[in-house]
Chains A and B, each alone.
Chain A
Amino acid sequence: MNEKNIISIIDIRNSKKATTPLFLDSVSAGFPSPATDYLENKLDLNEYLVKHPAATFIVKASGPSMIEAGILSGDLLIVDRSVTPKNDNIVIASVFGDLTVKKLRKKGSSLFLVSANNEYPSIEIKEEMECFIWGVVTYVIHKAVTK
């Protein structure tokens, strides 16, 4: 019992920097665990979701207009500002100074911000709108479990 308690304290300390899994160092009297040689670093979602940490921001979506693109109200969006926006990318755009999330679409020489919900109109980007692309959405984090 006592030993268990001590281990849990050390665990908290070590896991701050998530270095090596704890039991690698433990001395055991019996047969060594055959899994020890195969231990690898734990999965790191930051590494998976964020390619350019300096340029990546997280924002929160609100509203129903991007439902068909898999973005629901309250979802978190990973936005990588180092990615050059391309046709059909989901982007964060600033329109008249308001940030909005839409699909970027090119038709001929015109650019549109398109909703992913038939009930919402598309916006054609015009000069006087002072529109610029704030960043490209690379991942959507959606909570699957509801209470």
Chain B
Amino acid sequence: MSYIKQLQNNHSSLDNSIALIDCNNFYASCERIFNPKLMRRPIVVLSNNDGCIITRSAEAKKLGIKMGEPYFKAKKIIDKNNVKVFSSNYSLYGDISQRVMETLARFAPDIEIYSIDEAFLGLNGFENYELSTYCSYIRRTIKQWVGIPVSIGVSSTKTLSKIANNLAKKNKEYDGVCILKSWFEINEALKLTPIGDVWGIGRRLSSFLQKYNIKTAYDFIQLDKGWVRKNMGVVGEKTFLELCGVSCIELDLIPSDKKSCCVSRSFSKPIEKIHDLEESVSAYGTRVAEKIREEGLMAESMSVFVLTNYFNRKEKQYSNSIKLQLPFPTNNSIKIVKRALQGIRKIYREGYRYKKAGVILYGLSKSSQVKGLLDYDRESSDAIMNTMDRINGRYGSSVVRLASEGIEKSWRMKREKVSPCYTTNFDDLVEVKT
């Protein structure tokens, strides 16, 4: 008898309750909070540098605009249908995301923030009929408090709650909440789920399974457990068990310490001169140092990289990166930028059109734990950085900056259609007519 039949015949327990809360078309919904006029209008949000479409409102999806499509390709449909276009505004999305997560955390002690717009919530201890009332309440609260519509899926494992969430999103009649807590409901849901849509089944595993005529998640769980393990490894088996209602992926409650941190951007137009590259690398070095200071971390080493536009086959290609040791663990912008500049000068080659550069910091550790032997001026270094951060925090980012960043920044990212930073900048508050 197959593994799943055994479980079901024994009425194996589905007591565990995990909810996946996912914000609907998150970036588009963020833009709507302060601009209710856009409530029913199609919206798309573009990736960094206004390159591709990364979020579509439901109305934009209906128009046939594809996820990840380059902006210029969709421009015809966009113009014809009066679609509102935004550059991505991560200051706004980050702040709204934090508000959603803070609000969610009130509803259960166990929360795992999975991404900017998704979180798992442990909801053990609720009776099944209470679950749906409680989830509707969570949903209403997020909408009222923060203004973001969410979908909620609940089941006994993370992988199943993802599937429940998908159904909650797709079927209007669920009203944003789908609960799969009986074998009957789970079987029906898995029959509706193509195997490639299952969390943890990538394209490779999916096409492997297609060969064995496994089309849906339901087909998949009919397989023999040993066969899955033998052919798909431990990871495949985990997904299999999760779909069978056996929880294998615990909630990750404590965010693991970051080991590295990267800032990189594509340029608005190709860069050829070392001078422009130096400016951009200075700016990224400053930003990445700022980022680790915010989290009270220091870096041991770093790397700098550049690359040309791989997609432009007509031009000659070059990419390189260089690993650089720091004399002692630091988060000082000046020291990091100095090192980054040495690095970029080493890997720069004349005659290429560069598309992107970046700075990565490695070996991050809590700043209180490390003090290098050579770090004799740590106090004054910290004082300078704190002063810079405070001034920039109050008067806007990069009011005080290193001269090596340059002033004009002709290489800077294109963000032509960015909305105001309504929640993070006093100059950008939304104006309300009395």
Contact = CB atoms under 8 A, between A and B. Distances in A.
Interface of A: 9-10, 12-13, 16, 52-55, 57-66, 71, 73, 76-77, 81-82, 92, 94, 96-102, 115, 130, 132, 134
Q: How large is the interface on B (under 10, 10 to 19, 20 to 34, 35 or more residues)?
A: 20 to 34
Given A12-B387, A97-B36, A57 B423 contact: yes
Given A9-B380, A13-B386, A81-B145, A59 B434 contact: no
A82 B144 contact: yes
Interface residue SS majority, chain B: helix
Given A12-B390, A55-B99, A76 B429 contact: yes
B283 to A, nearest CB: 23
A56 B433 CA distance: 19
Given A54-B99, A134-B36, A61 B145 contact: no
Interface of B: 34-39, 98-100, 102-103, 141, 144-147, 379-380, 382-383, 386-387, 389-390, 422-423, 426, 429-434
B103 A54 contact: yes
A13 B382 contact: yes
B100 to A, nearest CB: 8
B89 to A, nearest CB: 16
A59 B99 contact: no
Contacts of B387: 12
A13 B388 CA distance: 11
A13 B379 CA distance: 10
Given A13-B383, A58-B429, A71-B434, 14 more contacts: A9-B379, A16-B390, A54-B99, A54-B100, A54-B145, A55-B146, A62-B432, A65-B433, A66-B434, A81-B145, A82-B145, A97-B35, A97-B36, A100-B434
Contact of A64 (B37, B98, B379, B434): B434
Contact of A99 (B380, B423, B430): B430
B434 to A, nearest CB: 4
A131 B386 CA distance: 46
A13 B381 CA distance: 11
A12 B388 CA distance: 10
B163 to A, nearest CB: 29
